[in-house]
Amino acid sequence: MSVLTEAECAQYRDVGYVAGKRLLTDAEAAQYRVDAERCCGPQKKVGDRRQASNRLKPYLLFPWAGQLVRHPKILDAVEQLIGPDILVFHTTVWLKEPMSGSFVPWHQDATYFGLAPFEHVTAWVALTPSTRENGCVEVLPGSHTTGQRPHKDQRDERAMLSRGQTLTDAIDDSGGVRLEMQPGDVSFHHTLLMHRSAPNQTQDRRIGIGFSYIPTHVRHTGPTRLSATLVRGEDRHRNFDPEPIPAGEGDAAAVEAHYQALSRFWVASEGIPEMAHAH
């Protein structure tokens, strides 16, 4: 089923993103917010990670997240952008607390994923309003056409990315577009699109979930074999180990599978100094 118009698919190719579209019902968005706050609100960090482990790949821990990552309307849109055979490679719950200084610097998603070719699309699902005031995603239209750009690791602990990865290019943000959304809206952006988000200056949490989808022919370029979950179609390439579906929240097998998947992911991502010359 076509969720995106032909014009929106062309916009994705030309400028690298599709602005928020209402793909979840109000009831779905409200329930998923309750689930996300219950399971991913308290931070369960491992070591000095900037993101809590329960906010990464939550579809391996929680059945509700497994349902959301397989939402038919989201996958219908993703299929229009990258084809019918789809893996979810990574997921992050982006939760900004009220009046916090947490921010996401200008970056490209592709920088430390180590995926080739560059065909990963991020579906960003709003579970609360995402506005200028609470730090919505801001994009630079067309910046995905410049290829992988150099980044540096930023040591600012307020930077929410795993390594604080920040573009080293001088950024002219005068043409930036803020993707303001309401609960249930979903935006889509290309892995090379430059984007950021500012701090939350409101009295409520800002919550969104970013799903990283790839076609099954995409591979990881590093020596560590990673895992991913087939959410639509067929995987004829077997570039990633399959991941199990959690039997329930707190299921011991799910907790172990989640730990193993993240452990391999961290080894791989931290072993990539910079992707600018890897393709």
CATH number of 6-270: 2.60.120.620
- CA 204 to chain CA centroid, nearest Å: 22
Query: How far is Cα 117 from Cα 144, in angstroms, rounded to an integer?
Result: 13
Domain extents for the chain? Answer: 6-270
Q: What is the CA radius of gyration of the chain?
A: 17
Q: Can you point out the beta strands (E) in the chain?
A: 17-22, 86-96, 104-107, 115-116, 121-126, 137-139, 151-152, 166-167, 177-178, 185-190, 195-197, 206-215, 219-220, 227-232, 241-242
- By the 8 A CB rule, do 61 and 54 touch? yes
- CA 107 to chain CA centroid, nearest Å: 13
pLDDT tens over the chain, length 279 residues: 789 999 999 999 999 999 999 999 999 999 999 999 999 886 654 444 434 488 899 999 999 999 999 999 999 999 999 999 999 999 999 898 898 887 667 888 888 889 999 999 999 999 999 999 998 999 999 999 998 888 776 666 655 555 556 667 888 888 999 999 999 999 999 999 998 887 888 999 999 999 999 999 999 999 999 999 999 999 999 999 999 999 999 899 999 999 999 999 988 877 776 433 332
CA separation, residue 175 to residues 10, 107, 130, 141, 172 (Å):
19, 16, 19, 7, 7
- By the 8 A CB rule, do 179 and 137 touch? yes
Note the pTM of the prediction, 2 decimals. 0.91
Q: Kindly report, residue by residue over 12-67, the tens digit of the pLDDT.
A: 999 999 999 999 999 999 999 999 999 988 665 444 443 448 889 999 999 999 99
Q: What angle do CA 129, 133, 135 make, to 5 degrees?
A: 75
pLDDT of residue 195: 87
DSSP string, 178-195: E--B-TTEEEEEETT--E
- Output the six-digit token pair for 220: 């990881």
- By the 8 A CB rule, do 80 and 232 touch? no
The residue count for the chain: 279
pLDDT of residue 24: 98
